[in-house]
Amino acid sequence: MTMQHRLVVAGCGGMSNVWIKELLKRNDVVIVGLVDVYISQAEKIREVYGLECGVYTGLSQAITDTDADLVIDVTVPDSHYEISTTAMRQGCHVFGEKPMAATMEQARKIIEVSDATGQSLSVMQNRRYDANIRALRELLVSGKIGRVGMINADFFLGPHFGGFRDVMESPLILDMAIHTFDQARFIIDADPVSVYCHEFNPPGSWYQGNASAVCIFEMSDGSVFSYRGSWCAEGAPTSWEANWRIVGEKGTAIWDGIHAPYAEVLVNGVAADADAEKKFIRDTVRIEAPMNWNGKLGHEGCLDEMFLALKEGRAAETDSRDNIHSMAMVLGAIESAKNGQKIMLG
C-alpha cells in the first residue's frame, strides 16, 4: 500500500496553483490544509480544486489540527524562514519555493533547525529536470572536453510582467538568476568561491531596479563561471534556460537551452597528426551529447525527486544544504554590485 503524505499548503497565491496541480496528479499525497494570511484566498483555492480540507490563517494551528507530515511553502520569500522552521519544529518536512530564505543568516539557521529536528527542506529548482541539461552534464562527466576551465551563460529576454517585479531593486538577480546560477552548479558539479557583479539598468528598461547584470564567479573546481543577463532585452531572445558555452582543455560544449547539446573536440582528444600540432586552428570533430535521461520534466520531475528522497530516507538533490550555495551566489552578487568589490563566498 502506497504511503500517503498529509500536506498543508502554506501560501495560496498564484504560484500555489502550479504546485497543487502537480500534487493532485499523485496518489501518495492528500491535501489536508490550506494556509494564507487572507482566509478568503485559501477558501478560493479550496473551491477551485474541489478540496475537502481546512483553511487557516496560521501554519502552526493547521499542522496541529490536521496531523500533517509535510508542508508546501509557496509564501513570499520573507516568510520562508518562519514557515520552514515552524514546520520542522512541529515534525514536518518542507518542500518550498526558491529562495530558501531572505538572508544567508536565515538559510544557515534553517539548516541548523533541520539538523536538530531531523526534518528536511527541499527547494524547487525545476530547471535541473530537463533531458538536455542532464545530457550536457553527462557529456562533461564523460571527459570528452577535458577539464573545464570556463562556463558561460547568456540570458537575454524582455518579459513585461507588470506587478512587483517592475519595482524590485534587483529583479533579474533576485527573481530569476538563481535558476541559471543553480544550473551552472549542477552542470559542472562545483560550488561558488567568489563573485564580482556589476548590476545596471540600461536605456529602454521598464523596471525601476537594475534589470541587467554581468557576474563573474570563481568555482570550487578552479573554473570560472561568467553570467551575462538582462530582463529588458527586446529582440533576439535566448531561451529561458539560457545559452551555454563550456570550454574545456580538449574542446567546447554548446547548449542553446532548447535543442540537444553537443561538443566540438580535438580528434581523439589530441591534435589529429603531427602536422596538426603546427596548425593555427586545430581540427575538431563534433560529438552529440548522450540523451539517456528519461525522468519527468520541470516541477513534476523535481517533485518526483523530493518524494523519492523522503521514501529512501536521504537528502534530495535540492536539499537546503545544497541549495544554500545557489542562494549564496544570488546574495553575494547583489552585495558585490552594491559594494563594487569581489565578494568571497564562504
- Tell which of 99, 124, 149 closes a domain: 124
CATH number at residue 39: 3.40.50.720
**Of the listed ranges 46-50, 165-169, 206-210, 270-274, the one predicted with least confidence:** 270-274
- Tell which of 107, 124, 141 closes a domain: 124
Q: Which domain holds residue 53?
A: 5-124
The fraction of the chain above a pLDDT of 90, given in percent, is 90
Co-location of 146 and 92 in the same domain: no
When divided into structural domains, the chain yields a total of 2
Statement: residue 24 has pLDDT above 50? yes
Per-residue pLDDT, averaged over 83-92, amounts to 99
Co-location of 120 and 133 in the same domain: no
CATH number at residue 148: 3.30.360.10
* Phi/psi of residue 124, nearest 5 degrees: -70, 110
**Of the listed ranges 1-10, 73-82, 133-142, the one predicted with least confidence:** 1-10
What mean pLDDT value characterizes the chain? 95
Positive/negative CA dihedral, 129, 135, 141, 146: negative
pLDDT in tens, 247-304: 999 999 999 999 999 999 998 765 445 555 677 888 999 999 999 999 999 999 999 9
Asked whether residue 320 is domain-assigned, the answer is no
* β-strand partners of 187: none
pLDDT in tens, 121-167: 999 999 999 999 999 999 999 999 999 999 999 999 999 998 888 99
Give the C-alpha separation, 17 to 49, whole Å: 9
Q: Are 98 and 70 in contact (CB under 8 A)?
A: no
Co-location of 140 and 73 in the same domain: no
**pLDDT number for residue 271:** 47
Contacts of 51 (CB under 8 A, 6+ apart): 31, 34, 45
Statement: residue 33 has pLDDT above 80? yes
Co-location of 88 and 199 in the same domain: no
Is this prediction's pTM over 0.85? yes
Contacts of 280 (CB under 8 A, 6+ apart): none
**pLDDT number for residue 274:** 53
